[in-house]
Amino acid sequence: MEKRVTIYDIAKAVDVSVATVSRVLSNSSYPVSPELKRKIKAAAKELGYRPNMIGRQLKTNNSMTIGVIIPSISNPFYANVVLGIEEIARRSGYHVLLCNSQHSPELEAEYLQTLFDKQVKGIIISSISEQKDLINEYISKGLIVISIDQTIDNPDVYQIGFDYKKGGYLATKYLIENGHRKIAYVTAPMNRPSRHDIFKGYQEALLESGITLQEGWLQESALDDIEYQGNAYEFRNGRELVRKLLDLDDRPTAILACNDLTALGIINELHFQGVEVPNQISVIGFDNIELSQMVVPSLTTIDHPKLEMGRFACNLLLDMVNSKPIALKEIILQPKLIIRNSTSRN
Amino acid sequence: MEKRVTIYDIAKAVDVSVATVSRVLSNSSYPVSPELKRKIKAAAKELGYRPNMIGRQLKTNNSMTIGVIIPSISNPFYANVVLGIEEIARRSGYHVLLCNSQHSPELEAEYLQTLFDKQVKGIIISSISEQKDLINEYISKGLIVISIDQTIDNPDVYQIGFDYKKGGYLATKYLIENGHRKIAYVTAPMNRPSRHDIFKGYQEALLESGITLQEGWLQESALDDIEYQGNAYEFRNGRELVRKLLDLDDRPTAILACNDLTALGIINELHFQGVEVPNQISVIGFDNIELSQMVVPSLTTIDHPKLEMGRFACNLLLDMVNSKPIALKEIILQPKLIIRNSTSRN
DNA sequence: TTGAAAGCGCTAACAT
DNA sequence: ATGTTAGCGCTTTCAA
């Protein structure tokens, strides 16, 4: 392995100064004679020169890198968000450092630190930490932070949100319009605002139709985020909670789940118990992950524009990095009802 | 936003040289008096000092970053591989730059370049490019490359593979053992060695049992990788190809799919056509993605240890980076049959 | 045990 | 249009 070739090697080869080489090779707008330009480019190619970004970065203080901190990339929801982020980043010449916090506040904090140390221009985070002090501390040090899919209470944090409440409302309303009056909500712990907001929308829709939420309709998992074990957690959650629903004297005819994975668990258990979906019980999911259209029965669900969320977040981040004027400091993406085959008229 | 604090600020504050500060704050083994050590650490904390890794990197030529190039993170298969990679990287203080090639050779090439420019210590790649010259070129420049899940013909590229042929064999054998004699293989284009290897295992199992592969049993998609549109492609592929199977005069009683997503497409279409799985036709998938256990019927499939593949790849890469002795330059992970409910006796 | 100073590869202000 | 040189923040050799 030969030593890496630097602009000094090229300067020597063409017999010009490093400044001229730098001007040509970094596409500076500074004028250089076409003749030299050609020779320098030729020499660079000849010698197999590749710029050392670390050197450039130290000088320009621009790492052209953004950090992304999410709970886990194995969650198809986040995978799509990240895909959207990376797409926009790439188009602007940026790279993405991917960090899975694994639902651990400690890991999240550690990543926040090391990303800052690596001079990322900004980070996009879906924080699972209850404590936002550390984030605020880094913001005060100049770090640009975009929060996705959940609220950080700091005027300097720009947010890309999603109207979960309306999503919960739309889903519940749809069930009611289809003749359902006994509707349950099955959810992972509501310590995450998103899940609680879905509940609020659900409540509102019930209220609006004069339906009183019955004891037992709300099934909330007791487990903590900590106990997440990949996506199997959500699935198992659905399976376990729906059993309690079946035990009720007056069974619901429809179930709203806090996400598609949970809905799959619910359907799975119902199938196992000999209850037909949607004939006997309708099930509606949340998020519209790609797989929700691939299962049988395909999932009626609420679409969450994941790719767009990623794109929005990254565009916003890049605008802030480049100190462009920011139109909106908070974007709330809108839910959309996707009607498929896991729901039917009652 | 205040200017970032550097070791100079601390040196000034404590009235020592930057050398001493550096020694303390970079955890150098170089001796510094406990007294000074304490004072320097206190000042660093007081001033909110955080090291600038770019400066360190330029000096030490160590970016503590690895690059990962995969087709798409939205594919749950790769998501899990990446999760494994990141887990190991983090434990060694490394970060992961995530690059989605989107099945585009051009994008893959671009990423290879920019990762090299960013001084990554090495990359883990699942290359979709037919041309491996560029990779070889960078290897000759000293880049360390680990190839996952497919072969790069270069003695300097270490590989983490998977025995697809045996997987295909195991799956087919299982079907035969369950009384099936008419078994089809439905696959995305076999330009990817993995898919072709599954086919070879399938052939071998048939041959071993004296079954002649009938015209029409092999259903290979005509579409190119280029046309991938997320995972929906695989799914649609399964749906479309299985129709041709149903058109056959002598329908197969079992179908092997090149991956789980394709199997889901197959099952979906069969359901739509009123064919019961597994009662009328058995379907077996490949990969054992998390979702294969969540669907109804749950998928009989071949397990591919995705997380482990990521971990192995990253451990190998780190060993190479640290020029540790490498025991094996090629690791072939083994398939495992997972029996669930999409297959039955014929 | 501490400090001075060179230098990693690059850019950019300044000089010519 | 081209060259000289300082310096980004850090580590490390060498000298004290």
Task: For residues B82 and B92, state if they share a domain.
Answer: yes
B216 and B244 part of one domain:
yes
How far is the C-alpha of B224 from the C-alpha of B201, rounded, in Å? 23
Answer yes or no: do A177 and A288 share one domain: yes
For residue A51, say whether its CB is under 7 Å from any atom of strand C: yes
**pLDDT for residue A92:** 95
Residue B341 lies in a domain: no
| pLDDT at A328 > cutoff 90 | no
> Strand C closer than 7 Å to the CB of A119?
no
Paired strand residues for A184:
A255
Which range marks the domain in which residue A130 is found?
A: 61-162+306-334
Residue A226 pLDDT greater than 60, yes or no: no
pLDDT of residue A227: 55
Number of A–B residue contacts, CB under 8 Å: 159
Q: Write down the H helix ranges in chain B.
A: 7-14, 18-25, 34-47, 53-60, 76-91, 105-117, 133-140, 164-177, 193-208, 232-247, 260-272, 306-321
CB-nearest to B268 from A137, A261, A294 is A294
Q: Is A32 exposed, middle or buried (0-12, 13-18, 19+ CB in 10 A)?
A: middle
Structure token pair of residue A265: 């668990």
Q: Which two tokens stand for residue B53?
A: 């890794």
For strands B336-338 and B301-303, give the pairing.
antiparallel
* pLDDT tens digits, one per residue of B75-122: 999 999 999 999 999 999 999 999 999 989 999 999 999 999 999 999
Q: By the CB < 8 Å criterion, does B303 face chain A? A: no
CATH number, domain at A37? Answer: 1.10.260.40
- Please report whether residue B226 resides in a domain: yes
Mean pLDDT across chain A:
93
Tell whether A340 is covered by a domain. no
B113 in contact with nucleic chain D (CB within 7 A): no
Please indicate whether residue A129 or residue B253 has the higher confidence score (pLDDT): B253
Residue B340 lies in a domain: no
What's the pLDDT at A105?
94
- Whether residues B328 and B222 share a domain: the answer is no
Is residue A345 in a domain? no
CA separation for the pair A306, A162 (Å, rounded): 10
- Asked if B100's CB is within 8 angstroms of A83's CB, the reply is yes
The whole-number pLDDT of residue B226 equals 52
User: Is pLDDT at A206 greater than 70 in this prediction?
Assistant: yes
Answer yes or no: do A290 and A316 share one domain. no
Reduced to 3 states (helix: H, G, I; strand: E, B; else coil), residue B23 is helix
- Regarding whether A300 and A178 lie in a shared domain, the answer is yes
On whether residue A230 sits in a domain, the answer given is yes
Range with the lowest mean pLDDT among A273-287, A312-326, B220-234? B220-234
pLDDT of residue B130: 82
The pLDDT value recorded for residue A2 is 62
Per-residue pLDDT tens digits for B269-302: 999 999 999 999 999 999 999 999 999 999 999 9
Check residue B222 and give its pLDDT: 83
DSSP for A230-246, written as a single string? TBHHHHHHHHHHHHHHH
Is A285 among the domain residues? yes
The domain that contains A277 carries what CATH number?
3.40.50.2300
Question: Mean of the pLDDT values across residues B61-66?
Answer: 94
Cβ of B51 within 8 Å of Cβ of A117? The answer is: yes
Cα distance between the two ends of chain B: 72
- Decide: residue B60, CB within 10 A, 0-12 exposed, 13-18 middle, 19+ buried: exposed
**B 13-42, residues with C-beta < 7 Å of strand C:** 15-20, 30-33, 35-36
A250-269: pLDDT as tens digits? 999 999 999 999 999 999 99
Share of chain A above pLDDT 70, in %: 97
Confidence class of residue B153 from pLDDT cuts 50, 70 and 90? confident
Asked whether residue B173 falls in the same domain as residue B287, the answer is yes
Three-state SS for A87?
helix
- Give the pLDDT score at A156: 84
> What are the pLDDT digits (tens) for A142-185?
999 999 988 788 888 899 999 999 999 999 999 999 999 999 99
Is B273 found in the same domain as B239? Answer: yes
Give the model confidence (pLDDT) of B299-323 as tens digits.
Answer: 999 999 999 999 999 999 999 998 8
Q: What is the pLDDT of residues B203-239, one digit of tens each?
A: 999 999 999 999 999 999 986 655 556 778 889 999 9
Strand partners, A229: A231
Rounded Cα–Cα distance for residues B239 and B255 (Å):
12
Task: State whether residue B342 sits within 8 Å of chain A by CB.
Answer: no
Read off the pLDDT of residues B190-205 as tens digits, 9 standing for 90 and up. Answer: 988 899 999 999 999 9
Measured between CB atoms, does B119 come within 8 Å of chain A? yes
pLDDT at position B228: 57
CB-based contact, B63 to chain A, within 8 Å: yes
Q: What is the DSSP letter of A229?
A: B
Would you state the pLDDT for residue B155?
A: 84
- Report yes or no: B276 at the A interface, CB cutoff 8 Å: no
CB B1 to CB A142 under 8 A?
A: yes
pLDDT at B150: 81
**Does A98 contact B at CB distance below 8 Å?**
yes
Q: Which nucleotides of C are covered by protein (CB under 7 A)?
A: 1-5, 7-13
CA of A63 to C1' of D7 (A): 18
pLDDT at B1: 54
State the pLDDT at residue B88: 98
In contact, B5 and A116? CB cutoff 8 Å: no
Residues 233-262 in B contacting A (C-alpha not used; CB under 8 Å):
235, 261
Same domain, A298 and A214: yes
Given a cut of 90, whether residue A317 has pLDDT beyond it is yes
Residues of chain B with Cβ-Cβ distance to A231 below 8 Å are 290-291
Instruction: Kindly state whether residues B198 and B261 are assigned to the same domain.
Output: yes
For B95, name the nearest residue in chain A, comparing CA atoms only: A97
Residue B327 has a pLDDT of: 78
A282 in helix, strand or coil?
Answer: strand
**What's the average model confidence in pLDDT over A48-69?**
95
A265: left (phi over 0), alpha (psi -120 to 50) or beta: alpha
Q: Is residue B172 part of a domain?
A: yes
The C-alpha atoms of residue B312 and residue B304 are separated, in whole angstroms, by 13
Mutating which of B56, B64, B74 best tests the A interface, going by the most A Cβ atoms within 10 A? B74
If you ran DSSP here, which 8-state letter would residue B19 be given? H
Q: How many domains does chain A have?
A: 3
- Bridge partners (DSSP) listed for residue A68: A98, A124
Say whether both B252 and B324 belong to one domain: no
pTM: 0.94
Asked if pLDDT for residue B252 goes beyond 90, the answer is: yes
SS3 (DSSP) at B191: coil
Q: Name which of B55, B86, B141 is nearest A100 (Cβ-Cβ).
A: B86
A97·B98 Cβ contact <8 A: yes
* Nearest by CB: B100 against A72, A86, A115: A86
Based on C-alpha coordinates, what's the Rg of chain B? Answer: 26
Q: Where residue B181 falls among pLDDT bands split at 50, 70, 90? A: very high
The reply to whether B173 and B284 lie within a common domain is yes
Which band of pLDDT confidence, cut at 50, 70 and 90, is reported for residue B129? confident
Evaluate if residue A225 carries a pLDDT over 70: no
Burial classification of residue B62, based on how many CB atoms lie within 10 Å of its CB (0-12 exposed, 13-18 middle, 19 or more buried):
middle
Look-up of token digits 């060695």: B193
Q: By CA distance, what is A78's nearest residue in B?
A: B74
What's the mean pLDDT in B33-45?
Answer: 95
Q: What is the pLDDT of residue A98?
A: 98
Q: Which residue is nearest to nucleotide C12 (CA to C1')?
A: A19
